């Protein structure tokens, strides 16, 4: 009986699974091959189709719509109500409200009760916490830049002026008052053709050949450079300066070729400049030293020479000079010239003149004066 029951149970399981295995069951419980039965397609139940026919696109659009609405809501919350206007009615007596003012500062007003018991907003107090050197958001400043160019700077919400590109500079422009040199067509060593830059930032024609000027003016815009040529010769020497200004050491045994150059600040502002040597047209690089003196009078006595302001720097910033042999007064050694003031720059070779190696201490040296700041 146990075997019979087990057989019937197995037959029943086979009958149930027949639609999957394509085996049929007879009335007496035996199995036999029958034709496969195709399952009926179950109708799908789901969301109505989207108008575009693309469910993914529809879902993306719905998500985008939610984000857009959320953005509007957040923006509304960030904006908040406008600050109270002094004198307007208020109901929450003694309530204090802050508002932005000035260059990212804040001031406050308070709801005060009047004699009639009605509240009104007071005047705003002092604006505090403003950004030092900041500007008023939305303000614009039009300023000169480059060589006769202009730019419009806009104050941001962080109370800082933008720095757009300078525009409107003429082609082949130059800083007004500066001088450009060339030895082209000059037969005499130490003479150059010069062309000055006009007020409209264009060059005058090159001049006839002549010695370079020993007086120059600072360039009127930040970043611009004024230059001249210092010609060092074996017939013009002074005792070598070493050490650091003020009060450097004046040598008693070594004389070096030198030249004094005056630098004038003709501007109505105090200017800070970097001063450095560079390669002159037709020249070769040799080691130099620099020192600056306040005033237009070149020092002649030992005491006066020791009263230098900056220098005597025998090292230079190569990114400025172009060669490690050249000296520079830059960085913490920059020189300040007051409005209308003049300084005198001592340009000298680092080595004594040697007739067997004249190129080590004599020849033309370019003196550059770069405007760093205007105050």
Last residue in a domain, options 169, 194, 227: 169
Q: How far is Cα 177 from Cα 371, in angstroms, rounded to an integer?
A: 13
- Both 149 and 252 in one domain: the answer is no
Chain length of the chain: 375
Provide the pLDDT confidence category of residue 224 given band limits of 50, 70 and 90. confident
pLDDT at residue 312 in the model: 85
pLDDT digits (tens, 9 = 90+) for 170-211: 888 888 877 889 989 999 888 999 998 888 999 999 999 999
pLDDT digits (tens, 9 = 90+) for 257-270: 999 999 999 999 99
Q: How far is Cα 374 from Cα 337, in angstroms, rounded to an integer?
A: 10
| Structure-model confidence comparison of residues 46 and 301, the more confident one | 301
- Both 238 and 150 in one domain: the answer is no
Among 244, 279, 243, 277, which residue's Cα sits nearest to residue 258? 277
pTM above threshold 0.75: no
- Both 366 and 263 in one domain: the answer is yes
- Domain membership of residue 87 (yes or no) is no
Biggest CA–CA distance in the chain, Å, is 139
Last residue in a domain, options 109, 144, 169: 169
Mean pLDDT on 274-283: 93
- Domain membership of residue 57 (yes or no) is no
- Both 229 and 337 in one domain: the answer is yes
- Both 152 and 284 in one domain: the answer is no
- Both 298 and 164 in one domain: the answer is no
Among 194, 192, 195, 197, which residue's Cα sits nearest to residue 219? 197
Least confident of 45-59, 76-90, 226-240, 317-331: 45-59
Q: How far is Cα 346 from Cα 219, in angstroms, rounded to an integer?
A: 20
- Both 323 and 260 in one domain: the answer is yes
Q: How far is Cα 279 from Cα 284, in angstroms, rounded to an integer?
A: 7
pLDDT at residue 331 in the model: 92
Last residue in a domain, options 169, 197, 231: 169
- Domain membership of residue 209 (yes or no) is no
pLDDT digits (tens, 9 = 90+) for 320-366: 999 999 999 999 999 999 999 999 999 999 999 999 999 999 999 99
- Both 218 and 165 in one domain: the answer is no
- Both 239 and 158 in one domain: the answer is no
- Domain membership of residue 117 (yes or no) is no
Residue 41 confidence (pLDDT) above 80: no
Q: How far is Cα 118 from Cα 91, in angstroms, rounded to an integer?
A: 7
How many separate domains does the chain show? Answer: 2
Q: How far is Cα 165 from Cα 144, in angstroms, rounded to an integer?
A: 12
- Both 155 and 264 in one domain: the answer is no
Q: How far is Cα 38 from Cα 94, in angstroms, rounded to an integer?
A: 83
- Both 270 and 348 in one domain: the answer is yes
CATH number for the domain including 282? 2.60.120
Question: Phi/psi of residue 68, each to 5°?
Answer: -65, -45
- Domain membership of residue 67 (yes or no) is no
- Both 141 and 248 in one domain: the answer is no
pLDDT at residue 78 in the model: 55
Burial class (CB in 10 A: 0-12, 13-18, 19+), 331: exposed
- Domain membership of residue 193 (yes or no) is no
- Domain membership of residue 98 (yes or no) is no
Domain enclosing residue 323, as ranges: 214-374
pLDDT at residue 313 in the model: 64
DSSP helix/strand/coil, 17: coil
Burial 88-106 (b: 16+ CB within 10 A, else e): eebeeeeeeeeeebbbbbe
Q: Give percent above pLDDT 90 in the chain.
A: 63
- Domain membership of residue 27 (yes or no) is no
């Amino acid at each position: 009986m146990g075997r019979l029951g087990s057989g019937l149970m197995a037959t029943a399981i086979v009958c149930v699974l027949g639609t999957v295995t394509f085996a049929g069951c007879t009335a007496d419980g035996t199995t036999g091959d029958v034709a496969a039965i195709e399952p009926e397609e179950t109708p799908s139940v789901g969301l109505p189709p989207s108008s575009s026919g693309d469910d993914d696109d529809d879902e993306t659009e719905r998500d985008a719509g939610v984000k857009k609405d959320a953005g509007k809501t957040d923006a509304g919350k960030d904006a908040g109500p406008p600050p109270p206007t002094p004198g307007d009615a208020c109901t929450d007596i003694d309530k204090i409200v802050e508002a932005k003012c000035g260059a990212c500062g804040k001031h406050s007003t308070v709801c005060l009760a009047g004699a009639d018991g009605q509240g009104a907003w007071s005047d705003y107090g002092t604006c505090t916490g403003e950004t030092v050197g900041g500007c008023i958001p939305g303000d614009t400043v039009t300023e000169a830049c480059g060589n006769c160019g202009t730019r419009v700077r806009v104050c941001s919400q962080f109370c800082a002026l933008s720095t757009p590109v300078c525009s409107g500079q003429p082609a082949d422009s130059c800083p007004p008052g500066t001088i450009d040199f060339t030895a082209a067509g000059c037969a005499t060593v130490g003479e150059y053709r010069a062309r000055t830059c006009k007020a409209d930032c264009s060059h005058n024609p090159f001049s006839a050949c002549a010695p370079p000027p020993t007086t120059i003016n600072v360039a009127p815009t930040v970043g611009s450079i004024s230059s001249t040529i210092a010609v060092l010769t074996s017939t013009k020497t002074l005792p070598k300066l070493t050490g650091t200004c003020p009060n450097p050491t004046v040598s008693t045994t070594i004389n070096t070729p030198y030249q004094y150059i005056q630098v004038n600040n003709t501007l109505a502002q105090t200017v800070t400049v970097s001063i450095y040597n560079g390669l002159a047209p037709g020249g070769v690089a040799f080691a130099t030293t620099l020192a600056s003196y306040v005033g237009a009078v070149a020092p002649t006595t030992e005491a006066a020479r020791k009263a230098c302001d900056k220098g005597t720097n025998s090292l230079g910033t190569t990114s400025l000079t172009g060669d490690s042999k050249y000296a520079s007064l830059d960085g913490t050694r920059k020189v300040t010239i007051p409005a209308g003031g003049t300084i005198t720059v001592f340009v000298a070779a680092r080595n004594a003149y040697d007739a067997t190696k004249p190129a080590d201490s004599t020849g033309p040296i370019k003196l550059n004066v770069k405007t760093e700041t205007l105050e």
